Each structure stands twice: as C-alpha cells, then as structure tokens.
Structure 1
Amino acid sequence: MFSTTLRAGLRAASRSSVRTMSTLSVRAVPRYGAALAAATAVTAFGLYQGAPLLLEGKSLAGEKGKASERSFVMIKPDGVSRQLVGKIITRFEERGYKLVAVKSLTPSPALAKEHYIDLASRPFYKGLVDYITSGTPVVAMVWEGKDVIRQGRRIVGATNPQESDPGSVRGQYAVSVGRNLIHASDSFDSASKEIELWFAESELAEYKPTTWDWVMADN
C-alpha cells in the first residue's frame, strides 16, 4: 500500500517539477500528503542529476532490448506544417512497432527548455526553444517494440539531413538541420526521461496488436 502511494507521489512530484503544460492537474498535490513531500526531494535530486525516474527498478521506457522497450518520438512544427504526420507514423507502423501514446500540443517554454536541457550551453538553444514553442503544435508519441530506440533513430536519420541515409525520414524529406522534422530518443536513459517528461503513466496504453507475436517472436 505504501509503495503504491509513494509511486503515485513520485509521479506527481516529477510532473509538477518539470512540466507547466496547461493540461497538468495540480489537484494531485494535496492528495498524496506526506508521501509526496518525502518523494519530492528524491525526485528533485534525480532530475538535478539528469537521471530518469525509476520506480521499483522499472522505467516508463519498458525493458531495454525486450519487446516492451519504448522510445519517445516527436514530430516538430515543420513536420506538422508540412503535413507529414501520417507518413512518419506509417514508417513506424510498417516496421511493426506499436503506438502506445500520442498527442498534439504546443509545448510551454518550461517543457521545451527541460526537453532540450542537454543543449542549454549551445548557441542555438534559445532559437530551438523559441521555434518549438512558436504556436504550431508538435506531435508527441511513444513507440514500443524490440530495439525501438536504436531502430527508431535509423528510421529518423542523422541529425543533419544532409548526412542522413536515403529512405530515412530526414533523408527523404529534410534539407536543413534547423528544420529536420523530428526528434527521437537516442538512448534508453533519454527515452526514460523524455517519456516521463511528456506523458503521465496513465496516458500509455497497454494492449497487444493482432500481429504482435508475428513481428516480435524470436523463433
């Protein structure tokens, strides 16, 4: 019972610490009482260290290397404006990966800054944040499947579209690194942090596509 309450407290504390989206509910704060107060310090320390929030050894990114592995993928404003959302989703679906969460939103500056915090020292950081929050929405998604983080990056292509393989999303549709259409988690730790940042656990669907065993089986 306590672990369930603590887990809920950690989730609420993490989301209230790093997200200021208009959809975020603050009614969760008084609900969890002392467990939330105790968890806040732990969560804040983890966020300060840049570490993903792990609960009982399990991350929202599932299990690395297993069929439950998950990656965060975001179609940026240029991809939305160019009406490439359906084509990009099709790339992941045709590979056999499972869409477990998706939403369209205009990120708040706080959310965008936290998402790109690793680039905070780079000269293009402010321009990137301003662009992501400019008003055209992004499409945030979580994809699941074996090796989805590494393979998702291959589907997306290199950060610089001019270095992307032909047939990748960026290799086919993008030219400029400043308008490279899409973001995908580059490691398991990044996926854990980014999924936690953009989605509540309750937003992640648990289901089994009819073709799942045909795609993910090893024999």
Structure 2
Amino acid sequence: MERTLSIIKPDGVRKNVIGEVIKRFEGAGIHIVAMKMLKLSKEDAKRFYAVHKDRPFYDSLTDFMSSGPIVVMVLEGNDVIKKNRELMGATNYKEAAAGTIRRDFATDIEQNVVHGSDGPDTAVVEIAFFFNQLEIYS
C-alpha cells in the first residue's frame, strides 16, 4: 500500500469544503489513515515549503499557508499518489479537469484548496513533517 500526504489549505477550510474533499477521497477508494487540523506558523510554512525557497512565489505561499487552519491527512491505497493528484486536478485551477477539487473550489493558482505529495520520496518527507508513526493507522 502506498501513502501520500494531502493538505486542505486555508482557503479550503474557510470555504467549508473539508467534508466534500474527504468525501471525494473516500469515494475514490482512498483510505484516510491519519488526520488533524492545525495552524502553521510562518516559520513552519517556510520549513515545509523549503524546496521552493528560491522561487518568486515562496513568500506569498508561506504567508498564505500560515494565514489560517489547515487539515493534513495521510492517505493510503493502491496508486494513491496518482489517484490523489487526479482528484485534485491541475495546480492552475483554470486548467484542471471538470469535476476535480481545484476546478470546483479554487479561485486562485496559489489558493487552490489542496496540496498533495508529488511522488513517493516527497510523500515520506511530507508525512514525517506532520505525523509520527503512532498517529498513523492502517
């Protein structure tokens, strides 16, 4: 079984679509094996998105991600990274397929409701950022 991290970003929490996002994961046969709501500090957001520190959007991204509560989840299932990315849709919500989370709920390329790990190695690092092994249930 593969695992990945998914985040409902501050805009998704503000729009009250937490339940809808979870419903879509579960409807696709994805199992949520850990979940919690928290608020990142600016410093934590910078550490989590350190891979983007040299990109022009780094400051606005970390400001946004520390602007309100987020819901972090560990998702588990066969091909879960691919399934999650298909459910989320393209990063630019205007390019996302109809029926995807970003197409249905996003209003901005950065404030696009959800984040998901882009590969197995990234997933391991991102999951460990938010969860210890005692918090993950299979």
TM-score under structure 1 length normalisation: 0.61
1:198 aligns with 2:110: no
Letter in 1 for 2:96: S
Q: Judge conservation of contact 2:42–2:62 (CA < 8 Å) in 1.
A: yes
**2:31 pairs with one of 80, 84, 98:** 98
Aligned 1:70-81 pairs, distance under 5 A: 70-81=3-14
Higher-Rg member (1/2): 1
Letter in 2 for 1:169: I
SS at match of 2:110: helix
Aligned-partner Cα distance in 2 for 1:158–1:115: 21
Match of 2:65 in 1: 132
Match of 1:88 in 2: 21
Answer 1 or 2: which has greater strand percent: 2
**1:107 pairs with one of 23, 40, 44:** 40
Kindly state the Cα deviation for residue 109 of structure 1 after the two structures are TM-superposed. 2.4
Kindly state the Cα deviation for residue 124 of structure 1 after the two structures are TM-superposed. 1.4
Superposition misfits of 4+ residues, deviation over 4 angstroms: none
Instruction: Give the fraction of aligned pairs with identical amino acids, expressed as a percent.
Output: 41
Match of 1:167 in 2: 99
Unaligned segments of structure 1, at least 5 residues: 1-67, 207-219
Structure with bigger RCO (C-alpha 8 Å, 6+ apart): 2
SS at match of 1:102: strand
SS at match of 1:107: coil
Aligned-partner Cα distance in 1 for 2:103–2:69: 23
CA RMSD of aligned residues (A): 0.9
Kindly state the Cα deviation for residue 178 of structure 1 after the two structures are TM-superposed. 2.3
Q: Judge conservation of contact 2:64–2:111 (CA < 8 Å) in 1.
A: no
How many residues align? The count is 138
Letter in 1 for 2:79: D
Kindly state the Cα deviation for residue 157 of structure 1 after the two structures are TM-superposed. 0.5
Aligned 1:1-219 pairs, distance under 5 A: 68-134=1-67, 136-206=68-138
